[in-house]
Amino acid sequence: MENGVNEKITEPGQPKKGSNKILITISIVIVAVIVLLYVFTVQSNETRDSDG
């Protein structure tokens, strides 16, 4: 499977679609992780403030 994927990526015209999908998924994952970290930090700060 990996060999076939590598061959397709090296072909001209093909890599744009695959790379775009990969970039989009990576960007979505990064944004989701940042949002989750931000939400967790905000929630922890709010709980600390309310506690004391």
Alpha-carbon gap, residue 12 to 6, rounded angstroms: 12
User: What stretches of the chain show up as alpha helix (H) in DSSP?
Assistant: 2-10, 15-51
Q: What pLDDT is stored for residue 38 in this prediction?
A: 95
What are the angstrom distances between the C-alpha of 22 and each of 15, 26, 52?
10, 6, 45
What percent of the chain is predicted at pLDDT more than 70? 56
Alpha-carbon gap, residue 18 to 5, rounded angstroms: 10
Alpha-carbon gap, residue 44 to 23, rounded angstroms: 31
- 6 pLDDT exceeds 70? no
For the chain, the average pLDDT equals 77
- 25 pLDDT exceeds 80? yes
Write down the pTM of the prediction: 0.50
pLDDT band at residue 10 under the 50/70/90 scheme: low
